[in-house]
Structures are given as C-alpha cells and as structure tokens.
Structure 1
Amino acid sequence: MQKIASLTSHPLYDVAGTRLIEQQMAEELAPHTLMQRAGFSVARLALALAPHARCIWIACGPGNNGGDGFEAALHLHQWGKSVVLTWTGLPSGKTELPLDAQASRQRALTAGVVVASKPPPDFDLCIDALLGIGAVLDPARLGSALMQEWLDVMECSPALRLSVDVPTGLNADTGAPSFKTTTKYIANNAYAACANRLFTLSLLTLKPGLFTASGRDCAGEVWFDHLGASLAHPADQAFTTEPCVWLLGADRTCQTSRAQAAHASHKGSFGDVAVIGGESSVSTHMTGAALLAASAALHAGAGRVFVALLGNAPGLHVDTEQPEFMFRSPDALDMANQVIVCGCGGGQSVASILPKVLSTAKRLVLDADALNVIAADPQLQIQLKARHGRGYSTVLTPHPLEAARLISSSAAAVQANRLNTAVQLAERFSCVVVLKGSGTIVTGPAQLAWINPTGNALLSTAGTGDVLAGLMGAYLARGQSSLEAAHNAVFEHGRRADTWAASRPGMALTASRLARWQAV
C-alpha cells in the first residue's frame, strides 16, 4: 500500500481495463481472495488514519464495493474497534449479493459485527463502501435515496471519510459526478475546507477519475493497493493490460537550471521566445497578459524574450520593471527561428497575424484568443493541422471553454469527459494538447494521455494561464520536444503553487509572483 504523491508516475486504468485485470487475477487465485485482500487493506488504512477512533461507521452498498466494506468491518471488529455497519439491502429484482460479497457479509456477521438500520449519532471515521467502479447513483434505483441520505450524513460530519476504490457518485473513468446532486459534495468552493479529512483507497488499479475534473476534490488524499497485481512500472513485463492514461510524476520531468549548462554557453544557447498578444485599444488594454507570459519565459531560462504587442493604441517600448524584454512589431519578428507564444491577451487583433504565425513559426504555443479565433475560422484550422505534416511543433493550451469552442461543444460536455476531449483535440489538429483545469491533461497525436497531479486553487486567478504558456515557450526554446515541454511546464506550474501553499499558508499567489519564480 502506498500514498500517491507527485514524485512518481503511475499507470491509470479505466473500468474496462480494471475489470480485465480483475478477471485475470481471479482466474489465478482461490475464490474470494481478492475481496479478502481488499477488505484487509481498507481496514489497515482505516486504522492508520484514525488509530484512536472510538466509533467507526461503515456504509455498505449492494455490490462488491459493499463486500469490501463487510470484509473491512470483520477485521476492525476483531482488532477491538467499535464498528457500526449499515447496509442498503438488495436492489429491486435481486435476491442475493454477488458470491464474494455474500461470503464477506457472512464472515462479518459470524464474527459478531452488528448491522444497524441507521448511522451512529457520533463517529470518528466513516467508510464509504456504497458504490464502486462502473456504478451509477441513479435516483430511480431502489436504495439510492438511502445512499443519498447517508452521503448527507457523511458530508455534514467533521469525521474523517475513507472511500473504498472510488467515492460514491464519482465516475471512475472521467472524474465527473454520475448523479447531479452529488455536485453538492464536490467542486464547490467550500469543499476545500474539508479536503484534509477525505481519503480514497484505490484497489487493484489507480483510476483516472480520481485525478481530474471533480475527482481530486472528491477523492482527497489517494492511497493505492495493487492487491498483488504487477502494475508498478512501464518496464515491468508482467503487465496484464495496457493503461489508458498515465499520472505524471517528477520522474518524467526535467527541471534543469541554466547554472548546470556548459560554461561556454551564451544567450543563443537557450533560444529566443517571442510573445505575440497584449492587445491595446481605446477601451481595452490586455498588455499585462503578454508581459506575464514573457516574464515566465524569461525567468524559466529563455536566452532572449521578445514582446510584440497588438492593437492600435501606443504600445510599450520598454518595461522598466523587466528591461530585458525586447519590444518589436509583429512584422519584425524572426518567426522561423524563434519560439512563438501567441494569443495571450490577443483579442481580435490576433486574427490578422495568425495566418503568418501558423505558416512560419516552426515552434509554436497557441493560447487564449488565438484559440478562439482559430475555433471560428475553418481556414485557420486547416493551416493548424497542416503544420504537423511540415514537421512543425505546436502546443495548444485551452481551458475547458476554449476547448469546447474548438470542437463545437460545451464546457460542461468537456468537463464530463476531459480525457476524451484532449485526445479528440490532439487527433483533430495533430498537435500536443494541454487541457487546463483540475488535473491538467497532456496528450499528443497517437500518444497516451498524461494527467498532471500538481497544482491547487491558488492557480485560479487571472494571468496564471499566460504564465503557463510562457513557461512552455521557454522549455521549447531550450530544445525540448513539444510533449516534453508540455509535461515540464504543467508540472512545474503546479509545483510552484504547491510549494507556495506549503511555505506561505494563507497568502495569495499572483500571476506575476508565479512568473518570477526562481527554479532551484
């Protein structure tokens, strides 16, 4: 058993892949072995999380997830803990539990575990063993109202909560809630205040839904027990099936400083980044977005940083706070030999420069308004897709609404299946895609997707997306591939927010602070 942290990459398996592994292992093991291992693991973690708990409430559902709960209750009871177990009963049309769950229920009853009709009035730890992977909290289904009632009790209690495999109501594949009223438990601002009391033990495999969309808020701290399956590392030839996506770890990123480079280096050794955006007009000024992206590129180690501001109002000629920036008109940029970061605060003015950018820039990051303009122009979409055939590198960095515009969808639909959206974008435009949000997703054409585990709500402020685009530009300028640059940028971007939260609790992290971070 291990706590999942950002140091190590991990394979993630969807429900179909998990079922296949489960079937393969069940064929090799004695009956009921997997559930016994799962229940024992749940009980061990429960004891570790709340060693002095006076009362543990275990809420069991009508399937194998409930069977894991019964098995955990058996061990906790035998270890001398006061256990109150509630069970939903069987759904309409069913007369008995699955065989393994029935065996675990009988073991618990025989050992003296008492099944109560309602939750205890006071408890120090609750275990959510209501529904597992592939199950939907359907309001029309018998027992769902009772589950909803028990989830309400859990939500209102200050007690620690441990979810078995996945939190009830969370889609294990997508991280989206499977029943609309469960959004009261996840993805709201008040939820973060109780995040330190939420835990999930993922069994047999790690599921992608725990790490993206609403998953991170709902699951809290994720632990993992492979129950004996050989899934530890991509070099492990004992893999029984391929993962559907990977969780990005520090072991797959490279954060080197310029101090580690050769002594004979010069500014040309670290490449040029040119930021095109920052539209200014009589009524609107978005210069700050371009300057934030440029600042991030500068502090991430780009050799030279150029800024090309758009619009009709007079632009800057020097930034006295960061005089290293070299201001140019868009036409004066050497786009073929620079990394171009285009769109940060670009407004509609970016439309006039995009055809040249798409046809000339060999290394390109497209963000914000550049994506919105492309979404509305089929000809630009053709140009964008053609870049791959010319050997050019392109990274798209949409947030959910920008992604929705690119595929003629809605932000809600994107969030309902973030992995599918990122893959769809990568294939449609033959680009590396960075779908921003909780559990940012990175993927490319014919590539497995990666979910980034770093970052927190401190990044939910204006300008942090511009900083990410600038970081990506700097990594491209320093010779990394588009996929490598995307991995490194999203991981570092989130890592900075995590480090800030740990070292300066309660202090806001502005985009300018994020951009000027000095990597060590």
Structure 2
Amino acid sequence: MNHPNPVYFSAEIRAIEQLAATLPDSSNLMEKAGLAAAQIARNRLLINDKTNVLILAGPGNNGGDAFVVARYLKQWYFNVTLVFTGDRIRLSNDAERTMMAWLAIGGEIRTEIPINRNWDAIIDGLFGIGFNQKKQRRLEGKYLDLIKTVSSMRLPILALDIPSGLESDNGCIYDMALRATITVTFIGLKPGLLTNYGPEYCGEILLRDLGLDVTTLLAPHVWTIDHALIPTLLPPPRLANSHKGMFGSIGIVGGSAGMVGAALLAGRAALQLGAGRVYLGLIARNAPTVDTIQPELMFRLAHELVKLKHLNCLVIGPGLGMESDAYSCVDCALSTKLPLVLDADALNLIATHTFLAQKLSHRNFPSIITPHAAEAARLLNTDVITVQNDRMAAARQLSEYFNCYVVLKGAGSICALPEGKYYLNTSGNPGLSSAGTGDVLSGMIGTLLAQGLSTEQALLLGVYLHGASADTLLRKNNGPLGMVASEIIISARTLLNRWIYNTP
C-alpha cells in the first residue's frame, strides 16, 4: 500500500462526521471510537483485571468517547474511576446516551479526582479536537488544575483523539497539556499530532478510521511523508552500463569566511548520495581549492559556478553570508533556468532585499526553499512565535507568495507545494538540532534533483531520508546527544541504497 496517510483539520473531521451520519449503514461513531480505545487500553496499558483506571471525561464528544471506554473496561472487570468535568444537560445527544449507558451498568460519576487513591493508568477524554484556542482562549480554572494534577501523577496516559491541551490543527500548547504514552486518534490524522509540540506530547500514535472510507467522504489536501510513500519517490536501480554523466551535475554556492564547512557538508552530501559531479563555489577569499576529506569535489569561483552551462541543479545558501558577493550570486542564480534549492543566507538575503524576493516569486523554473522558523519569520516579515503558532499557514503563505516548493523545518517538517498540496514529515528526532544538518538537507535535495527526480519527489524523499537517517543513528547511539551532520550523510547513503536495492 504505497499511499501516505491523509491528514485533516478539525473542521474537516467535523464535516466527515456529518457526512458519515448520512450513510445508510452508518452506526454510532462514538461507540466505535470508545470500543477501539478500550481495546487499546486493555491490550497496551492495563496489566490485569485488578488494574485501577482513572478516566477523565470532558464536556464534549470526547467525553462521550470516554464514557464508552469506561463502560467497556468496567464490563471487563477493571476498577474504573470516572471524573466528569462537564454539564450533563449540555451534552450532545450521542454523549448523553453514552453517559446513561455508563450509569445503567452501575457506573459512578465523580466531579473531582478522589484524594488518597492510586491508579495504574489514565484515560484522557477531556477535550480532543474540541479544544480550540481561538474559542477557549486559555486553559484555566478547574481544567488547568486538573491537568496539573494528572501530570504530576506520572502515570501512563492513553489520550483520546489528541492529548488535552494540545491544539489539533497546529500542535500548539497555550498553557499546559497532558503528555500521552499512546494517542489513539479517530477517523484521520490531524496536523497537531505531527508537528510543533505534537511529536513530543502524543507518544505513540494509533489511527482508527472507525470503518469509514474517509478519503471518499472528503478528499484530502494534506498527507504524511512516511515509509509507505517512499517506494513511489525512489530513483530506479542503476544500470550496469552507466556513467557519471547520467547522474547529474550539481553546483553548490556558499562558504563565506568562517562558514566554509557549511558548503562542504552540502557538497559531501550531494556526492555521497549519488550525484555524478559536484562543484563547489566558495565565497570566502583564500578558500581551499580541494577538500582533503572528499577530494572528488570540484572547486570553482562562486560567480563562475552559477554560470556553468552543464549543471542540472544549483544549491545556494549554505554559509553564504550577507555581503555584496553573496547578493550577486543569489541574483545570478535566480536568473538561471536551473532548479534551485535556496537555504540559509540565500533566504536571509531574499528577506532583506525586495528585488530578490520579487525575482524569486516571478521565476518560471522550479525553486525549493528550506527555511527554519526564524528564516520563515524573516521572509514573512513576522516573528518566530507567529510562525510556530500556525506552521501550516506559514508554509502555505511562503509557497503562495514566492511561487515555490517549501520545507518549513522543525519537529514535523511541513512541505508545501505550489499547487496547494501539503505533506507532514514523520521522520526525525532532536539529534537534528545541531549545526550543519540543514546544509546536509540542502545537498540531499539538490542531488536528487540533479539525478532527475521531479521537484516534488526530490523534496519529499530528501526530507524523509534526512529524518530517517537521524532515526537510524538515534537507535545506534542510544540517544540524540552528540549526533553530528557528517554522520547523517553516511547514514543516509546506507539507507538510500537499502531502499533502492531492497537490501537488509
């Protein structure tokens, strides 16, 4: 099944629920969701039928799901304590039915967590996708106190749909959120699970579609980049009768004084991931003319490199600097017909000079920009907090304004395509939070473009491979500390060969 998972915003999930309710064979989605969650709790969190379970049921439909979970666990002989935080007379019809079914089997409803009691696991059914910062503004009062109390227990938590306090559309936390061990999400994935704080707070994410053929009910425009997608992105195995001219020539421009290493990292990544020829144009005066670690790299003067006729792709920005020579190189690069990957100081120059920004937005040839949050904020003339508070919107605005492909880097990197498609990356870890990893990513995307992949393929494969390489190192090193950019290159080369040639 080489299809990525669709991702839906909360409003789209509501629309799918309404459409599902009109189907002739539809049955209660709340009942199905609660049963699915109860089965996961029983199989993954609860030790035996003597386990004590604390269930938090909120005021909306997420609370209705929690009542169903409570009912099944009680029927399976677990010791269940249910705390309901809402108003019974304001429940939806479906949620009220689940509450009455809970009471009918002898279930009790508490309004506060009992003191001097111990539990083994917690089911979080407080908010789900019903928590929307624009409506609720902030967590406060009893809800904030409740989340503080539960967080202090340090127990395994199963979150229903999304951890309470985490915003489902953008992954923001505005006051506090529960940190789940497992999150079971219903119908479809949500952006907030996968980007910003989502990867940190959701734990293991399990999707239950509740028997719906979701994409036929509502066509998605956001997907995940995951391993299922990778076979559709890979270049073909190489023929025995091949030569370097078949695998592209890539130019990399950057490396101002004190930042030569950035360009070298991008060049080494491009070479070791398969480019036939890699040229480096360094800005720094008295820059080296050979890389003794990677002598296969070929050096040219920066202003000459951007004019080479036989290049298939140009990467500009790693360690570029902000001086006049750097400006001239970016200006010249934007005038070429080559596919471009623009990173780091190339983006800062575009953000600083309106002429360059307009030139990028009017290009008729493929352009990929790779900003982190601070660079995105400069390009959008805003601040980092605004970008992080709605990463999906920021990626969309960048793509639309500059008429280009975008990867907004960070936890759950977001790829935005000019035609309005979006992808959320599922690979990567904190080990990538070190100097030079962005330069490696630029070289990786560039080399895939030079080898003939489409812009979309090169972007998606490069972003996923970059994160997956770090994940491999995470397992090898037993953690993210000390992971360095040059290691990513070697790990990525091994993985890419493994994927293309199907080797163990």
Matches within 5 A, 1:94-173: 95-119=89-113, 121-136=117-132, 144-173=140-169
Gaps of 5+ in 2: 499-504
Distance 1:7 1:59 in 2: 38
Task: Tell whether the 8 Å contact from 1:166 to 1:219 is kept in structure 2 after alignment.
Answer: yes
Q: Which residue of 1 aligns with 2:383?
A: 410
**Counterparts in 2 of 1:490 and 1:116: CA distance versus 1, 3 Å:** same
**Counterparts in 2 of 1:383 and 1:401: CA distance versus 1, 3 Å:** same
How far did 1:137 drift? 6.4
Matches within 5 A, 1:70-85: 70-85=67-82
Distance 1:305 1:343 in 2: 16
**Superposed CA offset, 1:88-127 (max 9, x none):** 132xxx8331111111111111112222343353212111
Bigger drift between 482-491 and 163-172 goes to 163-172
How far did 1:296 drift? 0.8
Number of residue-to-residue matches in the alignment: 484
Structure 1 vs Structure 2: percent identity of aligned residues?
A: 37
Q: Please tell me the residue identity of whatever aligns with 1:510.
A: V
Task: Tell whether the 8 Å contact from 1:162 to 1:201 is kept in structure 2 after alignment.
Answer: yes
**Superposed CA offset, 1:272-292 (max 9, x none):** 111111101xxxx00111111
**Superposed CA offset, 1:150-207 (max 9, x none):** 2112322231111111111222111122xx212xx58xxxxxxxx7x62111112221
Q: Which residue of 2 aligns with 1:516?
A: 490
Matches within 5 A, 1:11-26: 11-26=6-21
**Superposed CA offset, 1:362-398 (max 9, x none):** 111000000000011111112112222xxx2110000
1:63 aligns with 2:60: yes
How far did 1:30 drift? 8.1
Decide which of 304, 311, 322 is 1:348's aligned counterpart.
322
Task: Tell whether the 8 Å contact from 1:128 to 1:162 is kept in structure 2 after alignment.
Answer: yes
Q: Please tell me the residue identity of whatever aligns with 2:165.
A: G
Matches within 5 A, 1:320-335: 320-333=292-305, 334-335=307-308
Q: Which residue of 1 aligns with 2:5?
A: 10
Matches within 5 A, 1:341-380: 341-349=315-323, 350-380=326-356
**Counterparts in 2 of 1:443 and 1:89: CA distance versus 1, 3 Å:** closer
TM-score normalised by length of structure 1:
0.88
Look up the SS of the partner of 1:495 in the other structure. helix
**Counterparts in 2 of 1:267 and 1:31: CA distance versus 1, 3 Å:** closer
Q: Please tell me the residue identity of whatever aligns with 2:419.
A: A
Matches within 5 A, 1:466-505: 466-505=439-478
Distance 2:37 2:239 in 1: 51
Distance 2:204 2:52 in 1: 22
Gaps of 5+ in 1: 1-5, 187-194
Distance 2:100 2:303 in 1: 77
How far did 1:427 drift? 1.2
Distance 2:337 2:478 in 1: 41
Distance 1:141 1:417 in 2: 15
How far did 1:263 drift? 1.5
Distance 2:490 2:292 in 1: 15
**Superposed CA offset, 1:284-335 (max 9, x none):** x001111111111111111111111113x31001111111111110233244
How far did 1:131 drift? 0.6
Distance 1:38 1:474 in 2: 45
Look up the SS of the partner of 1:115 in the other structure. coil
Distance 1:15 1:296 in 2: 39
Look up the SS of the partner of 2:282 in the other structure. strand
**Superposed CA offset, 1:446-479 (max 9, x none):** 2310111000111111110001000001100100
Task: Tell whether the 8 Å contact from 2:221 to 2:420 is kept in structure 1 after alignment.
Answer: no
Decide which of 223, 229, 236 is 2:206's aligned counterpart.
223
Q: Which residue of 2 aligns with 1:275?
A: 252
Bigger drift between 139-148 and 164-173 goes to 139-148
TM-score normalised by length of structure 2:
0.91
**Counterparts in 2 of 1:430 and 1:257: CA distance versus 1, 3 Å:** closer
Task: Tell whether the 8 Å contact from 1:8 to 1:248 is kept in structure 2 after alignment.
Answer: no
Task: Tell whether the 8 Å contact from 2:20 to 2:217 is kept in structure 1 after alignment.
Answer: no
**Counterparts in 2 of 1:140 and 1:100: CA distance versus 1, 3 Å:** closer
Look up the SS of the partner of 1:323 in the other structure. coil
Distance 1:305 1:219 in 2: 41
Distance 1:337 1:411 in 2: 39
Q: Please tell me the residue identity of whatever aligns with 1:88.
A: T
**Counterparts in 2 of 1:476 and 1:143: CA distance versus 1, 3 Å:** closer
